[in-house]
Amino acid sequence: MLLKPNVSVHNLNVFYGKDHVLHDVSVEIPNKKITVIIGPSGCGKTTLLKSFNRLIDSVDGVKVTGEVLVDGENIYDPKAEVTHIRKKMGLLSQRPYPLPMSIYDNVAYGPRLCGEKNKKKLDRIVEHFLHTASLWDEVKDKLNSPAARLSVGQQQRLCLARGLAVGPEIILGDEPTSALDPKSSKHIEERFMELKQYYTIILVTHILRQAKRLADYVLFLYMGRLIEHGPAKEIFENPKEKMTKEYIQGIIS
């Protein structure tokens, strides 16, 4: 009962108009681990990640077939409630997009959508998750100032706190460190290492070294196909597929 995966994908196909960008992807994402999606740019990593929380719905002319089960529920079922699904996941995008409001209101945004109005509770939530994202000490004196005035690195941690405040089980990250300087990137990576005890984390990266530092489980995508997936050690040290080996050795990119 406990071993049911948070996310499992069955025969997922995604089309953008006539372009077939994901071919028949099937995989089970292990719980409470960091799963890293690697592959060259344009291979469909972002698309796969966005199909986990149906953010892909906002793309023009998108068509999805197959299933993505989150906690056993097919999120592409016409009866599925999309806002409910999304509350189970926090998202970090390539560039942080703080909402046009204060630092406090950014973190309180999700809980407020769920109807939380109690000021004391909100205060506690905001403080707690800013701590978790290790941003609290830097912003505790300016919670009411605009989020846009934070540095990009701080904004990304704010987005992490904001995502966690919704109470998700899963954290999705689409190259979440690619806009950050090395120090901020390290900061974010450390958070992921702490958070994986409590959350199922799925990260996209095209930086192999980062993948090696973080991954417990790896998916290798190439031209929209899931070439190979398995525990990080296996994929990095002893890949079964020739293509995976070549990608890891830097022969193809």
Ligand X SMILES: Nc1ncnc2c1ncn2[C@@H]1O[C@H](COP(=O)(O)OP(=O)(O)O)[C@@H](O)[C@H]1O
What number of CA atoms fall less than 13 Å from residue 232's CA on the CB side?
A: 17
Residue facing Mg ion at closest CB distance: 46
CB of 203 to other proteins, least distance (A): 15
53 binds other proteins (CB under 8 A): yes
CB of 12 to other proteins, least distance (A): 19
Q: From its phi and psi, is residue 242 left (phi > 0), alpha (psi between -120 and 50) or beta?
A: alpha
CB of 209 to ligand X, least distance (A): 18
CB of 172 to ligand X, least distance (A): 13
Which token pair is 198?
């409590």
Write the binding mask 199 to 238 for other proteins: x where contact by CB under 8 A, - elsewhere: ----------------------------------------
CA distance 165 to 13: 31
Contact 203, 192 (CB under 8 A): yes
Please state the φ and ψ torsions of residue 216, each to the nearest 5 degrees: -100, -30
Chain positions 78 to 117 lying near other proteins, rule: CB under 8 A, are: 83-84, 86-87, 89-91, 93, 95, 97-102, 109-110, 113-114
**Start-to-end C-alpha separation, the chain:** 40
In the bound state with other proteins, the residue whose beta carbon lies nearer, of 26 and 145, is 145
CB of 174 to ligand X, least distance (A): 7
Residues that bind ligand X (CB under 6 A): 16, 19, 21, 39, 41-47, 59
* Closest residue by Cα to residue 146 from 161, 132, 136, 158: 158
Size of interface with other proteins, in residues (CB under 8 A): 31
In the bound state with Mg ion, the residue whose beta carbon lies nearer, of 46 and 132, is 46
Sheet hosting strand 73-74, strand order edge to edge: 73-74, 62-70, 7-16, 19-29, 225-231, 217-222, 34-38, 200-204, 170-174, 89-92
In the bound state with other proteins, the residue whose beta carbon lies nearer, of 148 and 207, is 148
The residues binding Mg ion (CB under 5 A) are: 46
